[in-house]
Amino acid sequence: MIIGLVKEIKPQESRVGLTPNGVAAYNAAGHRVLVEAHAGEGSGFSDDEYRKAGGEIFDSAKAVWDASQMIVKVKEPIAPEYPFLREDMILYTYLHLAADKPLTEALLKAKTKGVAYETITDEYNGLPCLTPMSQIAGRMAVAQGAKYLETTYGGRGMLLAGVSGVEKGKVVILGGGTVGTEACKIAAGLGAEVTIMDVNLRRLAVLDDLFGSRVQTLYSTPENIRISIAEADVVVGAVLIPGKKAPCLITRPDLALMKKGSVLVDVAVDQGGCFETTRATTHENPVFIENGIVHYCVANMPGAVARTSTLALTNATLAPGLKIANQGLESVTAKDRHLANGVNTYKGHCTFAGVAEAFGIPYVPVAELI
Ligand SMILES: NC(=O)c1ccc[n+]([C@@H]2O[C@H](COP(=O)([O-])OP(=O)(O)OC[C@H]3O[C@@H](n4cnc5c(N)ncnc54)[C@H](O)[C@@H]3O)[C@@H](O)[C@H]2O)c1
């Protein structure tokens, strides 16, 4: 199969769909990989590294799109990329279609086979291509919280780790899934006092086993949240109710309970956020202060660590991508229900129920089309 790797053109996106190692893996399996010049530069990968891995460097994005049977990307195509979509093409990338009607329409109109990383499942009921980004965001969340606690940024001038003879900082994490667990590791590792809250008792039991006496687990109720945030220096919002808007767990009046200069990090901002005062921010301008509380609400946190994110993304997407390239999308979809779950659009039909429901369009299971 001819695989295409293009430079991401979404603002502030420095990740790229494949590392040179990923290109080498496709190449070793007998596929050609066309690479747009400078595609990997934002992640620190040169054209020369791609060339050595067997990639063929093309000068323009159009040339790569036009000559490829499967495009491997990071972000969903944006409007200038819509004209490149074709019927005989597989688009393998994050799509997030339920939040993007124009792209859904463009994919359906072009009859492109759209495979979304975020809906591919695994045998553990997980989302293997989404998990690495949650791990990164979770690990970053505490580092960002620690940074914005500094006085310069309007924080309360508190070192999370404390120092001999001085108390440590307190971190409260709302949601004990992937983001919450990774945030917990970093916060506990720094030596902060950590409380992690969830409504899922099984998750709390797992966290208890994982962290033992180093971390306090607590059932998430509005009252427990209010009591905990009054003590907190950093609060991390890491909740998710799949397919729904994040629940609002800290209201504007609740901010009055908190210490001035404490920091809220709302990782769940991409699902609407779990604090009433959340509004999405960017890496250029990551924080704002509301009622004396510093808010960090960057919706694409992994974008700030493009190299790590590109490496982690390729680790997760390479095996399913190789399966598609080696066996063909139709054949692998018929055999592998987890990969079939990734197919969101196919030959002009919407093949993902959640997307069809979001836009009131017909849903056709992909199994009926192949
Ligand atoms: N901002 C970013 O750059 C970025 C990056 C990655 C992920 N995210 C987002 O982070 C959020 C969390 O992702 P995840 O992978 O950890 O999800 P997850 O499903 O692994 O974990 C979510 C947890 O929230 C818990 N939860 C639900 N309602 C709760 C409540 N009322 N109180 C406490 N806990 C509650 C669930 O039981 C679950 O354990 C998602 O919205 C995800 O999209 C954001």
DSSP string, 300-314: TGGGGGHHHHHHHHH
Structure confidence at residue 243 (pLDDT):
65
User: Is ligand 1 within 6 A of the CB of residue 235?
Assistant: no
**Best mutation site among 15, 117, 142, 179 for ligand 1, i.e. most ligand atoms within 8 A of its Cβ?**
179
Task: Please tell me whether the overall predicted TM-score, pTM, comes out greater than 0.85 for this model.
Answer: yes
Query: What residues of the chain score a pLDDT lower than 50?
Result: none
272 Cβ closer than 6 Å to some ligand 1 atom: no
**Fold adopted by 134-299:** Rossmann fold (3.40.50)
Collapsing DSSP to helix, strand or coil, 96 comes out as coil
* Cα 149 from Cα 296, distance rounded (Å): 11
CATH class of the domain at 2-120+306-368:
alpha beta
Give the whole-angstrom CA distance, residue 275 versus residue 278.
5
| Distances 226 to 59, 107, 235, 266 between C-alpha atoms, Å | 56, 45, 11, 16
d(CA 360, CA 116): 20
Q: Domain coordinates of the chain in residue numbers?
A: 2-120+306-368, 134-299
In this prediction, residue 255 carries a pLDDT of 98
- Whether 38 is catalytic: no
pLDDT for 181: 98
Report the distance separating Cα 324 and Cα 308, nearest Å: 25
**Residue bearing tokens 């591919």:** 120
Single out the residue of 45, 57, 51 nearest to residue 16, CA to CA: 45
1 lines ligand 1 (CB under 6 A): no
The pair phi, psi for residue 200, each rounded to 5°, is: -100, 110
CB neighbour list of residue 82: distance below 8 Å, 6 or more residues apart: 102, 103, 106, 110
- Beta strands at 90-93 and 263-266: parallel, antiparallel or unpaired: unpaired
Q: Do the two domains 2-120+306-368 and 134-299 of this chain adopt the same fold?
A: yes
In this structure, the strands spanning 113-116 and 343-346 are: antiparallel
Task: Decide if 288 contacts 264 (C-beta within 8 A).
Answer: no
